[in-house]
A and B are shown apart, each in its own frame.
Chain A
Amino acid sequence: MSAEILVLVEHTNGVVKKVSFELLTLAAKHGSPSAVIVGAGADQAVADVVRYGAAKVYVGNDAALTTSVVGPKVAILNQLVDSASPAAVLIPSTAEGKEIAGRLAVRSGSGVITDAVDIEDGIVAVQSVFGGSTIVRSSVTTGTPIITVRPNSTTPVEAAGAGEQVAVTAELAPSDTAAVITDHVVEAKGGRPELSEAATVVSGGRGVGSPEGFDVIEKLADSLDAAVGASRAATDSGFYPHQYQVGQTGKTVSPQLYIALGISGAIQHRAGMQTSKTIVAVNKDPEAPIFELADFGVVGDLFAVGPQLTQEIATRKG
């Protein structure tokens, strides 16, 4: 029997995020995939992870495990690293996922690699750095490899797993529960796919000019079932909420299709979207650097080109 590979499942009240299925698919290539589900709703997530190949499912079904920042998840993973001696621990490369990975590395005496885009034989992590210009292959040399993997890096494949369920309870240290979450405030605009997981992203920049201008971006996004993104200039100017920022200090996205409107393509913006499969840009400045990486670019006014494109898509989709 091959060694277990632990996959930390990201879910909201039992609704599993796509990245978790991607990680299970990746884990199956290198060992026996074990899903780790923590927090309220964990039970409801079991069937989904088994559908994507989980041979074992560790369930920590206690709402109290998600009312403190990160600590309890680290405690559970650390216990499993001890008891199951996995070949690796895979965690989604989200803001929280990286924090969990960092603490787990220190606690379990292991090396950590973040933002992998693939895992090769021998648990070699492949990273795409410096805005996609350099490919790096790294390994963990001490302890258990702890690797965070970017959403959208692998295509999830359905493959029924054995799904043996194991209940886990955490032994928590005082510092695990020292930062207490007392309220969860939702500001997001509902109804669209999540930015880091979306197959298509439509982003607007300073060129959109105003919050109202983002109407053009949202309509185009909706015609393609896309997520909406924004440049930092757009979020700094208050045109669109900060959590939609794409780039170095925002989200890293890697969709099949990225459409940039009114974005110049500064190096820090490119750092967050350069690994998109296909890039389309609309900008009125023919010299804008975004055209250097666009597969298809239109020099023109986004307020003319954008709505026309939305219209054309509606017509062609019938």
Chain B
Amino acid sequence: MPLNIVVCVKQVPDSWAEKKLNEADKTLDRASADPVMNELDEYAIEEALRLQEAHGGQVTILCMGPEKAGETIRKALSMGADDAIHVVDDALHGSDAVATSAALAAALGTVECDLVILGSESTDARMSVIPAMLAERLQLPQMTFAKKVDADPEARTLTIQRQTDDGYDVVQSALPAVVSVVEKINEPRYPSFKGIMAAKKKPVAILTLTELALEPATVGLAGAWSGVNAFEQRPPRQAGTVVTDEGDGGTKIADYLVTQKFL
């Protein structure tokens, strides 16, 4: 039986860049760093494509973000996804996690699917809450932090290994379900030349707040349920002492630890 999958993909500033906040509205300054696909979402796409190879079905990309995020959607399509939904609306700028999850849940309401797969964290917000919030909003099983996913579309069941602090839990649920994946789950593929060419013709549906029946006042900066009051740059750490090992490097560290009362 085929398995229809939606993968949530976010565009984020390159994690290699130094990030900063906008002075004006205290949101992330996205112009100061190159936008790229959230790295963990590549693992989510890869897992969806592997499940599709095993069971058949559609892989749809869902991305909420400004027009520029279209580039990230094309990359996801060139990896092999079939089509995409792009949620874009100026009123969404500055949305907090609660509002983001509302918009994503509304968009998921427009499609039939057996599985929603997400990365376990976006490298800009680093909140790691969207997958749990989607499970809550859609009233679906929360199958998160998966390092292994086994789906049985005939029996309509799902089994994952959920990563924990000291190992993993085996977790079972029915389908449909919300899954988030950790980076140990697989090795994401690179888009092939053929994939890049094919991606140009794949359909991308644009949804605005109107199509999602969401009030502009409930999302974006205006609708945020939490907000930044103030921010400040912390003075950079004082440069420390660096010595070269001349056979006494370990002793020198021990001496230092004594002066700092660690020993």
Contact = CB atoms under 8 A, between A and B. Distances in A.
Interface of A: 69-71, 74, 94-95, 98-103, 105-107, 110-115, 124, 128, 130, 132-143, 145, 173-175, 178-188, 194-196, 200, 224, 242-243, 248-249, 256-257, 259, 267-268, 278-280, 282, 286, 291-301, 304-313, 316-317
B171 A182 contact: yes
Given A133-B234, A297-B242, 14 more contacts: A69-B141, A69-B162, A69-B169, A102-B136, A115-B126, A134-B233, A175-B141, A178-B140, A184-B170, A248-B15, A259-B253, A304-B247, A305-B245, A313-B263
Nearest to A296: B256
Contacts of B96: 111-112
A99 B128 contact: yes
5 contacts: A102-B127, A102-B132, A106-B136, A114-B128, A185-B161
Interface stretch (B48-56, B61-69, B220-228): B220-228
Closest 9 pairs between A and B when the two form their complex, measured CB to CB:
A300-B245, A308-B250, A102-B129, A111-B225, A111-B226, A309-B250, A312-B254, A187-B167, A178-B141
Q: Main secondary structure on chain B at its contact with chain A?
A: mixed
Contacts of A183: 169-170
B166 A95 contact: no
A153 B86 CA distance: 39
B109 interface: no
Contacts, number: 281
Contacts of B194: none
Contacts of A138: 226-229
Contacts of A174: 139
Contact of B165 (A188, A282, A297, A310): A188
B129 A141 contact: no
A168 B173 CA distance: 26
Given A95-B128, A103-B132, A181 B242 contact: no
Contacts of B231: 134-137
Interface in B113-141: 120-121, 123, 126-133, 135-137, 139-141
A249 to B, nearest CB: 6
Nearest to A298: B249
A298 B253 contact: yes
- In this complex, the member of A187, A301, A310 whose beta carbon has the largest number of chain B beta carbons within 10 angstroms is A187
Contacts of B174: 178
- In this complex, the member of A142, A185, A249 whose beta carbon has the largest number of chain B beta carbons within 10 angstroms is A249
Contacts of B89: none
A299 B247 CA distance: 11
